[in-house]
């Protein structure tokens, strides 16, 4: 059933990257991922005292190896990238199209947020900048901010994932939002989880300190999906996929 049509003006809302001439959709997807990686890697290198939220909730060693061996990270391509990208683009446009019906007065997509974090430890930088990009930042009719994070998964097992909840709560802190929604799109179901407890500044300080000490992996299952596991001395072996 067709429940909406995107007009030309709606299509123009998508951000277009300059990929050059491509011969297929497959090449387009690969080019887009390479461009996005290059842009993100450039930002990370230009701001050494900035920690991105997506890295903060994952194994710090993955960030370390990405900086040391960007060729490995850049060369990794999976179909889940395409699924995730399409889910984000579609749901972000749905939020804009149906903002009033959802009770939103304003909708911002790909919203950049940041905050300075004091780390009171002798062997670490005292101030770092925590930065991230929120999938959807909405403002309701009472002027309350709502963070919406979009996630895709292979199944609905173990939902919601701890690191996704943590990421959402961090974004709630950075955006000064009173509500957060974790929206999962899986082959089995669509699931929404609502949270009203942003991460505290103290939580952020502890996470940043752990990150700067390269204490990882954070979860035993991370190594299964990590492109650097074959060179990492801290790899956890024989862990079931999630």
Task: Please answer whether residues 195 and 165 qualify as being in contact, where contact means their C-beta atoms are separated by less than 8 angstroms.
Answer: yes
Is residue 6, in this structure, part of any structural domain at all?
no
pLDDT tens for 103-151 read 999 999 999 999 999 887 676 667 899 999 999 999 999 999 999 999 9
Position 96 pLDDT exceeds 80: yes
Is residue 2, in this structure, part of any structural domain at all?
no
pLDDT tens for 184-235 read 999 999 999 999 999 999 999 999 988 988 888 999 899 998 999 999 999 9
Is residue 175, in this structure, part of any structural domain at all?
yes
Is residue 64, in this structure, part of any structural domain at all?
yes
Average pLDDT, integer, range 162-166:
97
Q: Rounded to an integer, what is the distance from CA 195 to the centroid of its chain?
A: 17
Beta pairing class for 127-140 and 50-52: parallel
Boundaries of domain holding 192: 24-225
- The two three-digit tokens of residue 39, written as one number: 């842009």
Q: How far apart are CA 207 and CA 59, in angstroms?
A: 11
Is residue 230, in this structure, part of any structural domain at all?
no
Burial class (CB in 10 A: 0-12, 13-18, 19+), 140: middle
Confidence of residue 90 (pLDDT cuts 50, 70, 90): very high
- Check residue 215 and report its DSSP letter: -
Is residue 8, in this structure, part of any structural domain at all?
no
Residue of higher predicted confidence among 79 and 228: 228
Q: CATH number for the domain including 117? A: 3.90.320.10
pLDDT tens for 23-67 read 999 999 999 999 989 998 998 889 888 999 999 999 999 999 999
Is residue 239, in this structure, part of any structural domain at all?
no
At residue 40, the pLDDT reads 87
At residue 232, the pLDDT reads 93
Is residue 10, in this structure, part of any structural domain at all?
no
Q: What is the pTM of this model?
A: 0.89
Q: Which residue in this structure is represented by tokens 């074959």?
A: 230
Domain count, the chain: 1
């Amino acid at each position: 059933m067709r429940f909406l049509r995107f007009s030309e003006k709606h299509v123009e809302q998508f951000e277009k990257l300059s990929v050059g001439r491509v011969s297929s959709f497959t090449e387009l997807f690969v080019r887009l991922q390479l461009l996005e990686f290059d842009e993100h890697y450039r930002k990370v290198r230009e701001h050494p005292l900035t920690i991105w939220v997506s890295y903060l909730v994952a194994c710090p060693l993955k960030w370390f190896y990405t900086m040391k061996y960007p060729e490995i990270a850049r060369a990794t391509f999976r179909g889940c990238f395409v699924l995730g990208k399409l889910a984000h683009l579609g749901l972000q446009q749905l939020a804009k199209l149906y903002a009033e019906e959802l009770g939103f007065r304003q909708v911002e997509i790909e919203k950049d947020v940041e905050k300075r974090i004091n780390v009171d430890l002798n062997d670490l930088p005292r101030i770092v900048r925590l930065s991230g990009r929120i999938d959807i930042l909405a403002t309701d009719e009472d002027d309350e901010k709502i963070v919406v994070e979009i996630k895709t998964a292979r199944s609905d097992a173990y939902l919601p994932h701890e690191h996704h909840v943590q990421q959402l709560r961090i974004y709630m802190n950075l955006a000064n939002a009173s509500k957060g929604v974790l929206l999962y799109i899986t082959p089995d179901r669509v699931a929404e989880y609502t949270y009203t407890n942003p991460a505290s500044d103290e939580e952020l300080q502890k996470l940043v300190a752990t990150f700067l000490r390269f204490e990882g992996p954070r979860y035993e299952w991370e190594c299964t999906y990590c492109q650097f596991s074959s060179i990492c001395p801290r790899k956890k072996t024989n862990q079931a996929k999630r």
